Structure 1
């Protein structure tokens, strides 16, 4: 994590995406801090001039090589980590989207060490980033409301 993201002067805006394929969602173990080796959704920081939706799809392609069609915004998710003395260590506001897989077989890389397609019941057995289980419960509920792919 770059120096400006550690003990930031302001929150960072990010987007991530829960991609569904055949009733399973794509998760990847993080290759970098924070939360290295924990499973999460592909995503990352929004670039200047980029919409949240564009960022979510770009990060999905860059991190794991998958293309998808967004189906809805699941929730904003805020991460605030503090040092023992109370200083803010990390502060991210993440727009989490749901999507349906279009193309590309997931590939690992520097930001995604291991990739899995998992069922909703599989989540409890994985080491995940804080709050991921709750976000995925919402994403699975959203996906079940959509017509079959």
Structure 2
């Protein structure tokens, strides 16, 4: 019997063609770059999870979460024997432009990256897919 996937959310914040990324300090995807996010807490909606995790990892309180993409992420062998199955909801968010991101919670670091820079980083497949889709709709 397989257990139902663990719910997780992440949030995309874009400024001037750059996306805010965290380098993950812990599994899953430790040492990979990704949008800020994490596991849902009991009773949270996916949007609430995205806002809370974004705030915990970057110090920025985002607003107006809009669902962008969802991913069914079965465990990968590279994540080890304790790997979990996740259902990830990815949201686009807004935040005041003057707010500075500071790494917190399980983020090893934070930074703003262009899509070209992102594709050169170690990123999960779901992040690559999101950035490719974002670049198709981003105004030039």
Q: TM-score, normalised by structure 1?
A: 0.79
> Unpaired runs of 5+ in structure 1?
1-7
1:28 pairs with 2:13: no
Larger Rg: 1
1:66 Cα deviation (Å)?
1.1
Instruction: Give the whole-Å Cα distance in 2 for the aligned partners of 1:56 and 1:136.
Output: 17
1:124 pairs with 2:119: yes
SS at match of 2:43: coil
1:65 corresponds to: 59
1:48 pairs with 2:32: no
SS at match of 1:63: helix
2:107 corresponds to: 112
> Unpaired runs of 5+ in structure 2?
none
Q: TM-score, normalised by structure 2?
A: 0.83
The Cα RMSD (Å) is 2.4
1:88 Cα deviation (Å)?
8.5
Contact 1:74/1:139, CA 8 A, preserved across alignment: no
- Richer in strand (by share): 1
Aligned residues: 136
Contact 1:28/1:42, CA 8 A, preserved across alignment: yes
1:142 Cα deviation (Å)?
4.4
